[in-house]
């Protein structure tokens, strides 16, 4: 247990200095499986603005960690359904929602490709095609991302997942 706590604290303290390269979190998916214009799309139902991308795939397909980190939440939320949240390098939280099943526990250390769950349509995605809602939230805002668009001040806390997943 002490080793896990040491690794967790070290990871958090060194996090801003570790480069982050993300992979597409749905196994066998590509950028063709989401609409790049859906990030920060408004209006988007009750949530106002769509703060991520929806990666469409068959129900039950493996969802894997896009980045290394530590699982800070694995459970159920009203809108997200079955969700997993991971704290990764640069103090970013990767949020995986609408899962059919969760295959990871809180405080687990993950690497890229670690199994998190499976694609589904839980939460407010019931009745919609199976997909993974994937968003990336910054704990420390980037003022360069303030815009005049809807909820622009909130945008500085988010990273466009499309750009994170497709940069080489």
Q: Are 55 and 127 in contact (CB under 8 A)?
A: no
- Note the CATH number of domain 2-166: 2.70.70.10
> Quick check: 167 pLDDT over 80?
no
pLDDT digits (tens, 9 = 90+) for 7-64: 555 555 555 556 667 999 999 999 899 887 787 666 555 556 678 899 999 999 999 9
Higher pLDDT, 152 or 40: 40
> Quick check: 133 pLDDT over 90?
yes
- pLDDT of the residue at 39: 76
What is the dihedral sign for C-alpha 51, 57, 62, 66? negative
> Quick check: 121 pLDDT over 80?
yes
Q: Among 4-13, 82-91, 101-110, 131-140, which stretch is predicted with the lowest mean pLDDT? A: 4-13
Domain boundaries, the chain: 2-166
- pLDDT of the residue at 141: 75
> Quick check: 123 pLDDT over 70?
yes
Tell me the H-state helices in the chain: 2-14, 152-155, 161-166
> Quick check: 98 pLDDT over 90?
yes
- pLDDT of the residue at 64: 98
Mean pLDDT, residues 86-93: 92
pTM of the model: 0.83
């Amino acid at each position: 247990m002490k080793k896990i706590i040491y690794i967790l604290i070290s990871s958090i303290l060194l996090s801003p200095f570790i480069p982050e390269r993300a992979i597409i979190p749905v196994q066998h998916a590509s950028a063709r499986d989401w609409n790049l214009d859906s990030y920060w799309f408004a209006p988007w139902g009750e949530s106002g603005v769509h703060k991520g991308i929806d990666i469409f795939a068959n129900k039950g397909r493996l969802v894997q960690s896009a980045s290394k980190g530590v699982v800070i939440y694995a459970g159920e939320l009203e809108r997200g359904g079955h969700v997993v949240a991971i704290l990764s390098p640069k103090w970013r939280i990767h949020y995986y929602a609408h899962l059919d099943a969760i295959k990871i526990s809180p405080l687990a250390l993950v690497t890229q490709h670690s199994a998190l769950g499976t694609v589904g349509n839980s939460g407010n995605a019931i009745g919609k095609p199976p997909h993974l809602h994937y968003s990336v939230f910054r704990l420390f805002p980037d003022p360069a991302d303030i815009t005049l668009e809807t909820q622009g001040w909130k945008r500085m806390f988010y990273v466009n997942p499309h750009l994170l997943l497709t940069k080489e």
